[in-house]
Amino acid sequence: MPALTRNEVEEIALLARLQVEPDELDRMQHELGAILEYFAALAAVDTEGIPAMTHAVPMDLRLRPDVAEPSLPADLALSGVPRRDGELIVVPSSIAPPGRAGTGQKP
Amino acid sequence: MTTQFWSVADTARRIAAGEISATQIVETMLARIAAIDGELGAYLAVDGIGARAAAAEIDRQRAVNAILGPLAGVPIALKDVLVTRGLATTAASKILQGWIPPYDAHVVDRLRSAGAIILGKVNCDEFAMGSSTENSAYQPTRNPWDPTRVPGGSSGGSSAAVAAGLCAASLGTDTGGSIRQPAAFCGVVGLKPTYGRVSRWGVVAFASSLDQVGPLTRSVADAALVLQTIAGFDPRDSTSLDTPVPRFTDALTGEVRGLRIGIPQEYFEAMDDEIRAGLTRTVDALVERGATTVDLSLPHTKHALPAYYLVAPAEASSNLARFDGVRYGQRVEAADLLEMYARTRGAGFGPEVKRRIMLGTYALRSGYYDAYYKKAQQVRTLIKRDFDRAFQFCDVILTPTTPTPAFRFGAKTNPVDMYLADVFTLSCNLAGLPGISVPCGLTSEGLPIGAQLLGRPLDEAVLLRAGGVIEAAVGLGERRPAGIGGIA
């Protein structure tokens, strides 16, 4: 397995929605590469025809009746929101307004 | 013995009998926390107002001869990944600083209904990712047996608080050993139930196919009592098992005659000499009492660590996507949405959490899923099959909980070295089995050693039965930590 390039680390950070400082990028490139090398041993395990594990005790997914049940009142559910306008959550635009710096990338 | 070290059962019985009030118990605990927790660092939040109000209510109920719950007046500390209505929950992360949840986790609900008193929230590694509690964004927690050493992790606040007598019991979570490993480091009992035995509703999710809530206590009997309270079906958790819950206290028979103890060779290859001596004492004690040992092999054990460190970060990268500055916790403002997400997460998460999110994102990338996540899930099946085969020849498996006793702060600087601290505990989570760590003596330096027992799915009873015998034969008895807040 090849070690990670710096570009790959930047791309993963973008996918993970993580702002990473340049010195953090250097450290992560080194650390993640070492960890992935350690994991390379798994590739040699013969898993031909072996199902992926889902639960320790065999069980089927349960369905519940499609009936409305009591839930948290909206105001309580929204009590931890950093910015609100009544029952609406306020977030910045998905595209930076003209004249303001943004990432220029689609979220 | 002082009230702080009373067992769960003893505390509840004395309160019910009127020997002491719940208020007296809570005041004693709060005073002890105020006196020594500045040095220990177990608590992130102490709920003095809530605990006093709950104690007054128990005392009022007793005064009118109301029927008290089985844990009435028992003071309990919760790992800070369990959400608590009206009480700050941070998962030891800056990103959740100041968040006051509007609801209680299922297990918190169960404890309150049983009359238990929530003293507060205890420290852990950020989002339960770590083996030493050094990854908390807030404070270090010290090991009460030796304050220069870590209490283990991730439930290190729980293990330290229980060992130092700052609560009667604590709830932790265990994703790869996070209850059993700190229990071993601090000389207490830690039980990870079968996956699905205890509802995860209201647990801040780390790796959903591995996470399980369980008790850390000063005795095996206390673990049985707390597990009894929190176990059982909950329709709000889709992985919760709709299976009868046995009376766990009935399992403590004190008998192991005829019990077949599996000794897996792969778990006895590399470990500290004193840990090996502790385990030998434990095996001898069980055999003297009529158990038999069965040598066996779990050949896929060596793949557990890489499989775990693919599955857990992959699931974490997905679970932690919810922390984006929109619905709860901290937000760093920015000109557009994507930048707000990235800045909020960049500022809010610590280094280990970022590392695991990055690893998981890498493993789940388009085109990589089969090579990493699916492969690791297939290896889990192989590990589970090893155990299925082993349990045809034995009733319970005995291993060390950790390869070394508690290490010093800063001793593990390389991430993979830290991951190796969990090498004996991970397979249990990958296979979904129940596991317990029980103290089995001290090293020459006075550090606790833990023996781990693993059982068949849903057979927590055999862990309690054999664990109770280990405790009686080679446990710590009345020995208490002297490092911090030692009481003669």
For residue A32, the chain B residues in CB contact (below 8 A) are: 355, 358-359, 362
The whole-number pLDDT of residue A44 equals 92
The whole-number pLDDT of residue A107 equals 43
Q: Do B378 and A51 make contact, defined as CB atoms within 8 angstroms? A: yes
End-to-end C-alpha distance for chain B, whole angstroms: 9
Query: Of residues B7, B154, B170, B219, which has the active-site annotation?
Result: B154
Contacts of A86 (CB under 8 A, 6+ apart): none
For residue B209, the chain A residues in CB contact (below 8 A) are: 54-55
**Residue B457 near residue A57, CB atoms below 8 Å:** yes
What are the residue ranges spanned by the domains of chain B?
3-251
pLDDT above 80: residue B320: yes
Predicted TM-score (pTM) of the model is 0.96
The whole-number pLDDT of residue B487 equals 46
Residues B20-39: what's their mean pLDDT? 97
Q: Which two tokens stand for residue B330?
A: 């901290």
CATH of B3-251, one of 3.90.1300.10, 3.30.70.260, 3.30.70.2660, 3.30.413.10: 3.90.1300.10
pLDDT above 50: residue B453: yes
DSSP state of B250: G
**Residue B216 near residue B1, CB atoms below 8 Å:** no
Q: Which two tokens stand for residue B304?
A: 């557990």
Q: In which band, very low, low, confident or very high, does the pLDDT at B413 lie, cut at 50, 70 and 90?
A: confident
Q: Which residue has the higher pLDDT, B277 or A98?
A: B277
Taking alpha carbons only, the member of B171, B212, B198 closest to residue B76 is: B171
User: Is B79 one of the annotated active-site residues of the chain?
Assistant: yes
Q: In which band, very low, low, confident or very high, does the pLDDT at B484 lie, cut at 50, 70 and 90?
A: confident
Taking alpha carbons only, the member of B150, B161, B94, B153 closest to residue B121 is: B161
CA nearest to B307 within chain A: A42
Out of A20, A42, A57, the one facing B303 most closely (by C-beta) is A42
- Rounded to a whole number of angstroms, the distance from the CA of B241 to the nearest CA of chain A is 8
Residues A38-46: what's their mean pLDDT? 89
CATH class of A6-44: mainly alpha
pLDDT tens figures, B368-394: 899 999 999 999 999 999 999 999 999
- Helix, strand, coil abundance in chain B, percent, nearest 5: 45, 15, 45
Find the range with the poorest average confidence among A33-37, B34-38, B115-119, B259-263.
Answer: A33-37
Distance between CA atoms of residues B137 and B121, nearest Å: 14
pLDDT above 60: residue B488: no
Distance between CA atoms of residues B83 and B104, nearest Å: 6
pLDDT tens figures, A55-95: 777 777 788 889 998 999 999 999 999 999 999 999 999 87
Q: Which two tokens stand for residue B302?
A: 């060596």
Distance between CA atoms of residues A86 and A107, nearest Å: 25
Find the range with the poorest average confidence among A69-73, B46-50, B72-76, B119-123.
Answer: A69-73
pLDDT tens figures, B204-228: 999 999 999 999 999 999 999 999 9
Taking alpha carbons only, the member of B53, B123, B114 closest to residue B82 is: B123
Q: Do B102 and A72 make contact, defined as CB atoms within 8 angstroms? A: yes
Q: Which two tokens stand for residue B99?
A: 């968040």
Out of A51, A56, A92, the one facing B334 most closely (by C-beta) is A92
User: Is B192 one of the annotated active-site residues of the chain?
Assistant: no
Q: In which band, very low, low, confident or very high, does the pLDDT at A29 lie, cut at 50, 70 and 90?
A: very high
The whole-number pLDDT of residue A106 equals 47
Q: Round the average pLDDT of chain B to a whole number and report it.
A: 96
What are the residue ranges spanned by the domains of chain A?
6-44
ipTM score assigned to the predicted complex: 0.90
Ordered strands of the B260-264 beta sheet: B43-46, B117-122, B75-79, B169-173, B213-217, B189-192, B435-442, B448-454, B396-400, B260-264, B292-296
DSSP state of B248: G
The whole-number pLDDT of residue B437 equals 98
Residues B398-419: what's their mean pLDDT? 93
Q: In which band, very low, low, confident or very high, does the pLDDT at A40 lie, cut at 50, 70 and 90?
A: confident
The whole-number pLDDT of residue A100 equals 62
